[in-house]
C-alpha cells in the first residue's frame, strides 16, 4: 500500500497480508457469507432468479456525486467497468421479470469520501429488479430482505456478532420489521432545522445522511428525491414534475444508506429526454435505447450495498473492515 | 508574430496595443502640438453597441461622494476596476474567452495567453472539445494535454486569491467526461481549494448560433476523430482536409435547468457557468439559467469569433450583442458578454448595459501572436486605462456603478426600441 498517499485518520486498513490474517476480518467474512446465503434463500423463495451481471460494457450507470467509471480498452473501443448494472437489469426484464444479482461494482469515488467509513472503490450490491412493480412494492421487498437477513444472521451466528461487539438490542428494531418513511423534503427541513446546510434540490450529503441516521432508532425510507440528484433511469412522478419515484433506505444509529431504489423510466422518449437533462450523450447508449424503443417493461428495483449491510450487522466502524481486499477512495492499494 | 490574421477585426490597432500598451490609448505624442484632433473613423463602422455614445453628465454627485471620501479631487487612478466574475474575484472586468479546439486557439498561443491572463488576475475560459480532440493525460506524465498545459501556465502565474479557471464541456466532451477528469485530478486540487475552478456548460457561440463546433482536420487526424465526430468532405475530393463537426446539443428549458442542477450536485466545489449563442430567446434562457443557480451567464454576441464557421453564419446569423443585452434587460445574476471586444469603450458599454465583465477572444490571440511574452498584458493594460478614464469621466469610481444612463443612443432610447418579432432580421434593431 502506498502510505504516502493515505489521507490522515485513525481508520485506515493495515497492509493487506496483516488485514487478511486478522480474526476480526475472519468473523466479518463468516457473517458476510451468512448474509449472502440468507439473501439468496429469501429472494429465490419469493420467485426471483439470480443472474450473474456483466463486468464491462460500452456504457455504465453514469452515477453522480463525482464518482466516475474506470475505462477499459476493449478491442480498441473505450469500454467501462460497471459502476452498476442498472441498464442490464432493465434490459433483462422481459426474460426474467423478477431478477437479482450479487454484483461487483467499481466506482472511483472522490478522495474526500475515503474517511466516511461508507465508501469503497470496489464493492458489491444485492441488485434487485421487478417488472411491473411500483416503488412501494420494491420498498416492501427491500424491507423484507433486510429483516430476513438480519434475523437469519442473528439466529445462525449470534456468537460471531457478540464477539464483534454487537448486542441483541442493537438489532431488535430491524428484526421487528418496523420501518419509518419520510420525504426528501422533510429530511431537508430536519437538517436545516438542525443547522446543517443541506441544499433542497440535491442529494442528501454524507454528513447530513449521518446526522439523520444517528437520530433514528429504526431503519427509515427517504422518498421523492428531486430530479437532478439521481440518474436518468429513476422515474419522474407524472403528477409531480421534478420529483422522482425513488427512495433510499437508511439504517439507524449512524450507519447510513443501505439501499437505493426507484421506479424506473421505461418510456423511450422520456429516457432520451432525461439523458439530455443529465448531460449524457444518448448516442453512447445505442444498445440500451434500441431495447427501450422496442419496449422495456415498467419496473421498480433497488441495490442493497453488501458491505454496508455487513458493516451494519457487525457494527464495525468502516467498510474496509468488512472487505477482504479493501480499496479506499484515493488510496493506492493492491 | 505568425500568419494569424483576423479580417474584419481591427487587427493593426490590436497589434499596436500588444506592442505599445497604454501608449496606444492616445494619439502619437510626436504629433502633439502639431496636429489638430477630432473624432477618428475607428468606430464609424461599428455595430449597434458601438454606435451608442458614452455620455458623461455635467453634475456629478457621485464624484462629490468620492471627493468627500478622499478629501481631495478624485482622479482616474481612483476608479476601482475589481469585480466579482462568476463567483471569482477578478482584478479587472475582463476575462479570457474560450478559443475552442481550432489550431489557432489550442497551440502555444493559447498557453502564452493563459500565462498572461494568470498574471493579470482575470478569469480564463478553456474551450470545449479539447479532450476528445487533444486528449487528457492518461497513464502517467508522458503525454501532457493542451488543457493541462494551459491550467499549469495560468496557475504558475496567477497571484493568490484572484482569477479562476473555467472549463467548458460539450456533448462530445461528455463522452470523455472532462469535468469528472478535472474534478478528481490531484493537479487541479489547488484550484478547487481556493474556489477558483468553474465548469461552463457551452450551449452555443456567437460565430455560428445553432451549430456545434467546427474545425478543419487533415489525413490521419480526420480518421482518428471519425468515430466521435462527423467528419465531412466539403473541400473537394482531391483535398485531404475535412470538416470536423460537433453537435450543438439539444436544449429545452427543462434540459438546461436539470443540467445545471446536475452540475451543482455532482461538482459542488466548482462554480457553474453557462455560455449562450445570441439566440432570439436569450432573455428567457438567461433567466432560466440564473434561476437554476448559474454563477455566470455568458452571452456571445453575433460579433463573436475565433471559431471556424460558415460564411453565411458569420455574416447573417444571430442577434447583435446590443440586442441580446436589451432582451435580457436588468440581469438577474452575473452576466458576462463577449463578441468584438478589443478596446475600453465597448467594454464600458457592455458594463453599462448590465454585464459584469467582457471577454477577450480574437483580440487576445492577436495580441499574443504579436508578442507572446507580454502582448495580452499590454492590450489589457490599455483597456484598463481607458476604463479608468471613461468611468471617472462619468463621475463614477467603480465599474459596478455604471448604468444605462451613461449611454446615449442615436436611434432612440435603448429600452424603448421595438422588440423584434420572431423571425424578423436582427439588423432591424440595429438600423
Which has more confidence, A41 or A199? A41
B386-410 pLDDT tens trace:
999 999 999 999 999 999 999 999 8
B310-361 pLDDT tens trace:
888 888 899 999 999 999 999 999 999 998 899 999 999 999 999 999 999 9
A274's grid cell:
432525461
- Torsion region of B33: left, alpha or beta (phi above 0 gives left; psi -120 to 50 gives alpha): left
- pLDDT tops 50 at residue A1: no
Shared-domain flag, residues B265 and B391: yes
Q: Which of A10-19, B69-78, B195-204, B380-389 has the lowest mean pLDDT?
A: A10-19
The per-residue pLDDT of chain B, averaged, comes to 85
Does A9 lie at the interface with B, CB-CB under 8 angstroms? Answer: no
User: Residue A103 carries which DSSP code?
Assistant: E
Shared-domain flag, residues B142 and B224: no
Whose cell is 463525482? That residue is: A66
Does A234 lie at the interface with B, CB-CB under 8 angstroms? Answer: no
Shared-domain flag, residues B155 and B292: yes
Give chain A positions within 8 Å (CB) of B181. 68
- pLDDT tops 60 at residue B245: yes
Nearest CA in chain B to A199: B265
Q: What is the pLDDT of residue B2?
A: 60
Q: Which residues lie closer than 8 Å to B184 by C-beta, 6 or more apart? A: A66, A68, A108, A110, A111
Q: What is the pLDDT of residue B143?
A: 45
Asked if A1 and A332 count as a contact pair (C-beta separation under 8 A), the reply is yes
- Torsion region of B74: left, alpha or beta (phi above 0 gives left; psi -120 to 50 gives alpha): beta
For residues B370-397, one letter each, b for 16 or more C-beta atoms within 10 angstroms of the residue's C-beta and e for the rest, the string is bbbebbbbbbbbbbbbbbbbbbbbbbbb
Residue B59 lies in a domain: no
Q: What is the pLDDT of residue B305?
A: 66
Does A201 lie at the interface with B, CB-CB under 8 angstroms? Answer: yes
Nearest CA in chain A to B256: A277
pLDDT band for position B309 (cuts 50, 70, 90): confident
Q: Which residues lie closer than 8 Å to B163 by C-beta, 6 or more apart? A: B88, B89, B90, B91, B117, B118, B120, B121, B122, B123, B124, B154, B196
CA distances from A135 to A223, A224, A295, A298, B205 (A): 9, 10, 20, 11, 43
pLDDT band for position B234 (cuts 50, 70, 90): confident
**Interatomic CA distance for residues B407 and B388, integer angstroms:** 16
Mapping DSSP to helix (H, G, I), strand (E, B) and coil, where does residue A98 land? strand
Could you count the other beta carbons within 10 Å of the beta carbon of residue B331? Answer: 18
Q: Where are the beta strands (DSSP E) in A51-135?
A: 56-57, 71-74, 77-81, 98-106, 122-131
Shared-domain flag, residues B168 and B86: yes
- pLDDT tops 90 at residue A266: yes
Beta-carbon pairs below 8 A across chains A and B: 63
Asked if A11 and A317 count as a contact pair (C-beta separation under 8 A), the reply is yes
Shared-domain flag, residues B225 and B291: no
Shared-domain flag, residues B266 and B322: yes
Give chain A positions within 8 Å (CB) of B169. 279
- A181 forms bridges with which residues in the sheet? A221
Q: Which domain-ending residue is among B225, B247, B269?
A: B247
Residue B8 lies in a domain: no
User: Residue A7 carries which DSSP code?
Assistant: P
Shared-domain flag, residues B153 and B167: yes
Residue B321 lies in a domain: yes
CA distances from B320 to A49, A140, A328, B278 (A): 62, 58, 52, 7
Report which of B50, B112, B98 is spatially closest to residue B367, judged by C-alpha positions.
B112
How would DSSP label each residue in B358-369?
EEESHHHHHHHH
Nearest CA-CA distance, residue A300 and chain B, Å = 23
Which has more confidence, B189 or B376? B376
Residue B151 lies in a domain: yes
- pLDDT tops 70 at residue B206: yes
**Interatomic CA distance for residues B133 and B46, integer angstroms:** 35
- The pair phi, psi for residue A147, each rounded to 5°, is -60, -45
Q: Which residues lie closer than 8 Å to B356 by C-beta, 6 or more apart? A: B83, B84, B85, B86, B93, B296, B331, B334, B335, B336, B400
A244-259 pLDDT tens trace:
999 999 999 999 999 9
Shared-domain flag, residues B200 and B311: yes
Residue B427 lies in a domain: no
- A78 forms bridges with which residues in the sheet? A73
Residue B96 lies in a domain: yes
Nearest CA-CA distance, residue B175 and chain A, Å = 7
User: Residue A58 carries which DSSP code?
Assistant: S
- pLDDT tops 90 at residue B422: no
**Interatomic CA distance for residues A224 and A100, integer angstroms:** 24
Asked if A312 and B286 count as a contact pair (C-beta separation under 8 A), the reply is no
Whose cell is 490599455? That residue is: B382
Whose cell is 444509529? That residue is: A253
- pLDDT tops 90 at residue B197: yes
Residue B153 lies in a domain: yes
CB contact under 8 A, B258 and A278: yes
Residue B288 lies in a domain: yes
- A294 forms bridges with which residues in the sheet? none
Whose cell is 456525486? That residue is: A65
pLDDT band for position B419 (cuts 50, 70, 90): very low
Q: What is the pLDDT of residue B136?
A: 63
- pLDDT tops 60 at residue B420: no
Shared-domain flag, residues B269 and B389: yes
Does A110 lie at the interface with B, CB-CB under 8 angstroms? Answer: yes
Shared-domain flag, residues B218 and B308: no
Q: What is the pLDDT of residue A184?
A: 96
CB contact under 8 A, A281 and B174: yes
Shared-domain flag, residues B224 and B183: no
pLDDT > 90 fraction of chain B, expressed in percent and rounded: 52
- pLDDT tops 70 at residue A49: yes
CB contact under 8 A, A201 and B261: yes
Could you count the other beta carbons within 10 Å of the beta carbon of residue B51? Answer: 17
Domain holding B226, by residue range, is 214-247
Q: Which residue from A111, A228, A273 is facing B261, i.e. has the nearest CB?
A: A228
Total domains, chain B: 2
Shared-domain flag, residues B169 and B298: yes
Q: Which residue from A64, A226, A281 is facing B266, i.e. has the nearest CB?
A: A64
- Torsion region of B133: left, alpha or beta (phi above 0 gives left; psi -120 to 50 gives alpha): alpha
Asked if A246 and A261 count as a contact pair (C-beta separation under 8 A), the reply is yes
Which residues of B sit within 8 Å Cβ distance of A?
A: 169, 171-172, 174-175, 177, 180-181, 183-184, 201, 249-251, 254-255, 258-259, 261-268
- The domain that holds B131 is classified in CATH as 3.20.20.70
CB contact under 8 A, A64 and B265: yes
B3-22 pLDDT tens trace:
677 777 888 899 999 999 99
Amino acid at each position: 500500500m502506498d502510505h504516502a498517499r493515505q489521507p490522515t485518520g485513525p481508520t485506515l486498513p493495515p497492509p493487506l497480508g496483516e488485514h487478511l490474517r486478522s480474526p476480526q476480518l475472519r468473523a466479518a467474512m463468516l457473517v458476510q457469507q451468512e448474509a449472502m446465503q440468507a439473501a439468496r434463500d429469501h429472494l429465490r423463495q419469493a420467485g426471483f432468479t439470480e443472474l450473474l451481471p456483466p463486468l464491462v460494457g460500452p456504457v455504465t450507470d453514469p452515477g453522480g456525486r463525482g464518482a466516475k467509471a474506470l475505462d477499459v480498452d476493449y478491442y480498441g473501443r473505450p469500454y467501462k467497468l460497471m459502476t452498476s448494472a442498472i441498464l442490464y437489469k432493465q434490459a433483462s426484464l422481459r426474460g426474467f421479470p423478477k431478477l437479482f444479482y450479487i454484483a461487483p461494482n467499481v466506482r472511483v469515488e472522490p478522495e474526500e469520501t475515503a474517511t466516511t467509513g461508507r465508501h469503497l472503490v470496489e464493492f458489491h450490491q444485492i441488485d434487485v429488479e421487478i417488472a411491473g412493480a411500483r416503488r412501494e412494492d420494491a420498498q416492501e421487498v427491500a424491507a423484507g430482505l433486510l429483516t430476513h437477513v438480519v434475523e437469519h444472521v442473528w439466529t445462525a451466528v449470534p456468537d460471531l456478532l457478540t464477539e464483534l461487539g454487537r448486542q441483541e438490542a442493537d438489532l431488535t428494531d430491524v428484526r421487528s420489521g418496523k420501518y419509518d418513511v419520510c420525504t426528501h423534503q422533510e429530511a431537508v427541513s430536519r437538517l436545516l432545522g438542525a443547522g446543517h446546510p443541506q441544499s433542497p434540490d440535491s442529494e442528501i450529503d454524507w454528513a447530513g445522511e449521518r446526522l439523520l441516521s444517528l437520530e433514528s432508532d429504526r431503519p427509515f425510507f427517504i422518498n421523492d428525491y428531486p430530479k437532478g440528484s439521481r440518474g436518468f433511469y429513476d422515474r419522474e412522478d407524472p403528477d409531480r414534475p421534478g420529483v422522482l419515484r425513488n427512495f433510499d433506505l437508511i439504517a439507524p444509529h449512524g450507519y447510513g444508506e443501505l439501499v437505493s431504489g426507484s421506479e424506473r423510466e421505461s418510456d423511450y422518449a422520456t429516457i432520451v429526454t432525461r439523458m439530455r437533462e443529465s448531460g449524457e450523450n444518448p448516442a453512447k447508449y445505442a444498445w440500451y435505447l434500441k431495447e427501450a424503443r422496442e419496449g422495456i417493461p415498467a419496473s421498480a428495483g433497488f441495490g442493497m450495498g453488501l458491505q454496508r449491510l455487513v458493516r451494519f450487522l457487525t457494527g464495525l466502524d468502516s467498510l474496509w473492515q468488512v472487505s477482504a481486499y479493501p480499496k479506499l477512495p484515493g488510496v493506492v492499494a493492491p | 508574430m505568425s500568419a494569424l490574421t483576423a479580417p474584419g477585426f481591427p487587427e493593426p490597432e490590436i497589434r499596436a496595443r500588444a506592442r505599445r500598451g497604454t501608449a496606444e490609448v492616445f494619439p502619437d505624442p510626436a504629433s502633439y502640438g502639431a496636429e489638430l484632433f477630432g473624432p477618428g473613423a475607428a468606430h464609424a463602422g461599428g455595430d449597434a453597441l458601438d454606435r451608442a455614445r458614452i455620455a458623461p453628465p455635467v453634475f456629478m454627485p457621485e464624484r462629490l461622494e468620492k471627493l468627500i471620501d478622499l478629501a481631495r479631487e478624485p482622479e482616474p487612478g481612483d476608479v476601482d476596476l475589481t469585480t466579482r466574475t462568476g463567483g471569482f474575484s477578478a482584478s479587472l472586468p475582463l476575462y479570457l474567452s474560450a478559443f475552442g479546439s481550432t489550431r489557432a486557439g489550442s497551440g502555444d498561443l493559447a498557453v502564452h495567453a493563459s500565462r498572461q491572463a494568470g498574471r493579470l488576475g482575470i478569469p480564463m475560459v478553456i474551450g470545449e472539445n479539447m479532450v476528445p480532440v487533444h486528449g487528457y493525460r492518461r497513464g502517467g506524465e508522458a503525454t501532457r494535454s493542451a488543457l493541462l498545459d494551459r491550467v499549469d501556465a495560468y496557475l504558475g502565474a496567477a497571484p493568490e486569491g484572484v482569477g479562476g479557471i473555467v472549463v467548458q464541456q460539450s456533448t462530445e466532451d461528455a463522452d470523455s467526461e472532462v469535468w469528472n477528469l478535472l474534478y478528481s485530478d490531484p493537479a487541479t486540487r489547488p484550484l478547487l481549494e481556493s474556489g477558483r475552478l468553474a465548469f461552463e456548460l457551452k450551449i452555443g457561440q456567437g460565430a455560428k448560433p445553432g451549430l456545434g463546433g467546427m474545425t478543419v482536420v487533415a489525413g490521419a487526424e480526420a480518421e482518428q476523430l471519425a468515430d466521435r465526430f462527423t467528419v465531412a468532405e466539403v473541400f473537394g475530393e482531391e483535398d485531404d482536409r475535412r470538416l470536423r463537426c460537433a453537435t450543438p446539443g439539444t436544449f429545452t428549458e427543462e434540459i438546461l435547468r436539470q443540467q445545471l442542477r446536475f452540475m451543482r450536485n455532482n461538482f459542488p466545489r466548482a462554480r457553474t457557468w453557462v455560455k449562450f449563442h445570441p439566440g432570439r430567446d436569450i432573455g428567457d434562457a438567461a433567466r432560466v439559467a440564473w434561476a437554476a443557480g448559474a454563477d455566470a451567464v455568458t452571452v456571445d454576441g453575433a460579433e463573436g469569433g475565433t471559431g471556424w464557421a460558415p460564411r453565411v453564419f458569420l455574416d447573417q446569423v444571430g442577434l447583435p450583442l446590443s440586442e441580446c443585452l436589451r432582451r435580457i434587460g436588468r440581469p438577474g445574476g452575473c452576466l458576462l458578454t463577449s463578441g468584438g471586444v478589443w478596446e475600453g469603450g465597448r467594454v464600458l458599454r457592455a458594463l453599462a448595459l448590465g454585464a459584469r465583465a467582457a471577454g477577450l477572444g480574437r483580440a487576445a490571440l492577436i495580441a499574443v501572436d504579436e508578442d507572446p511574452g507580454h502582448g495580452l498584458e499590454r492590450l489589457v493594460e490599455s483597456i484598463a486605462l481607458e476604463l479608468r478614464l471613461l468611468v471617472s469621466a462619468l463621475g463614477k469610481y467603480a465599474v459596478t456603478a455604471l448604468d444605462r444612463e451613461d449611454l446615449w443612443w442615436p436611434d432612440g432610447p435603448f429600452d424603448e426600441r421595438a422588440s423584434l418579432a420572431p423571425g424578423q432580421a436582427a439588423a432591424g434593431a440595429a438600423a
